[in-house]
Amino acid sequence: MRINKYIAQAGIASRRKADELIQNGNVKVNGAVMKEPGYDVAEGDKVEVNGRRVESAGKPEYVLINKPLGMVTTVSDDKDRLTVMEVVKDIDARLFPVGRLDYNTSGALIMTNDGDMAYRLTHPKHEVYKTYRARVAGVLSNEKVARLRKGVDIGGFVTSRAKVNIIKGNQHSTIVEISIHEGKNRQVRKMFAAVGNPVQELERIAIGEIRLGHLKPGHYRKLTRAEIEYLKNT
């Protein structure tokens, strides 16, 4: 297996980023700096990236989880909080989350050991839309919906066009679905705050065409072959 693919499948980086690591001298094989991106990793080779041993991830795995509230989207946590790894602890593969959901946001999160897939889903140029269902405070007027669809300033950054649909509402709160393809920190919350309707509850219900459906919080399912192909061709 070519060394850039080996690094990508270990979840370290995409193949493109792996090539950069190799060219910059950040990769060693059997203790020697490796600058040949075409090198084929042989059985028994010791591969290191930035001084850390890299083990082959083995067979690619693709999983959709429903992240509960009160869980962090990391592999480990120095504050001993529950991480999303708890949801997939019975899967015998070194998975990592693709992107992240806030501590107080629930819903759809893909976990994999495929670095190339992770790159495609998180890089803005691929414009993979993520859909959220939010309960926001107050009435979300047509004027505010138009602003969200056009793009709003969330503090030094103007968001791209969003897809926004009101589900229902009253004078106290509004339930709305919003789809964005960017992934700025707490972006959806900041967008609604920018139009004066702070988020009360937030759940991600879809990543591209892959929907959460009836998957219960704290549970996972493996992606279907069709879903995997869809993501690879996005």
Pair type for strands 62-67 and 106-112: antiparallel
Distance in angstroms (rounded) separating the CA atoms of residues 188 and 132: 8
Of 40, 77, 92, 102, which is the active-site residue? 102
145: left (phi over 0), alpha (psi -120 to 50) or beta: alpha
Contact by Cβ (8 Å): 188, 180 = yes
Closest listed residue to residue 9, CA positions, set 95, 121, 98, 110: 95
Q: Tell me the two tokens of residue 26.
A: 């950040």
Give CA angle at 178 (14, 129), nearest 5°: 25
Residue burial 198-230, b: 16+ Cβ < 10 Å; e: rest: ebeebbbbbbbebebeeeeeeebeebeeebbee
Q: Tell me the two tokens of residue 118.
A: 């992770």
Distance in angstroms (rounded) separating the CA atoms of residues 33 and 206: 42
3-state secondary structure 187-221: HHHHHHHHCCCCEEEEEEEEECCEECCCCCCCCEE
Annotation marks residue 102 as catalytic: yes
Residues with catalytic function? 102
